[in-house]
Structure 1
């Protein structure tokens, strides 16, 4: 996502890859962000997420052994909402309809729904198959999006009651998608920025 006060890179990157005899055939990297509803005052209770009683107890319990500072900080961060795997960059060696930005946006959206909204969707434990709960490519519409402050062609899914999704093609092999919970849309500017990597 483009830098903005309400979002902080949580330092959590999820990687998925597929290989064959020629090496990597597909790779995706997903980023998770910490959400700050009031970034000017991180101590503001509005920044806290809703916790059930079991989660609250587990965060407040002190173990009988010392914990390193990084772990204490990570536990404290669990009190605040995360945009879990909200931005995903996808690369595919082969160019096909299967790896189109529309297809990738649908897959990313269903992945977030299946993993973050199971109870709301009435999904039981265990493996899940697509059904009435899942979105399809029929829900994908053309729009424009911001990439490095330039408006570019994009696609969106704006039909799901729980999430809004936006994606765009970076080149014929690469796309980027974002899936944002609707409850957080007022706090997020959905714009993409190229991340500079260092050797």
Structure 2
């Protein structure tokens, strides 16, 4: 902390235990804000950073979709490059697009859930929080499935737009499932394997 009217000195605040740590120093200087309700779905132990960042940007509507960039090029085709039926927006891509909704429904089907998808990605994330809590088999599967689904759909969108490379939706689904299996296996290697993880892995065999 700095005092512009006096000699600057470093101030370190201890934790409740009375001990100093890098965490206590960070808490002393950082700007504290309310914890967002979706933080547990996006920022959790073992999450893949690139998956978390893309998912976070999707939920707060900060991905560079064509509706957000159209002011840069008035002649730009605003149609979704995955389905060519609707203008591309974050809410269309996740998961109102026929291409992406098929992938997400396929993940839900593997954990025994069939339902009408929510109208936007933020409501879909809230549905996960409202209906899946604890550390059970289906909760584990959904926690590890939500982010890679968003990530690989966004990656396919960029691949088509910037590289003219097209993958079938079944290939994208395989990539998502592979990432889910890697995360579950990583958990089993790092921690003591638990019944929920074993059962969740079985869902994606």
When normalised by structure 1's length, the TM-score is 0.26
Greater C-alpha radius of gyration: 2
More helix by share: 2
When normalised by structure 2's length, the TM-score is 0.25
Highest relative contact order (Cα 8 Å, sep 6+), 1 or 2? 1
More strand by share: 1
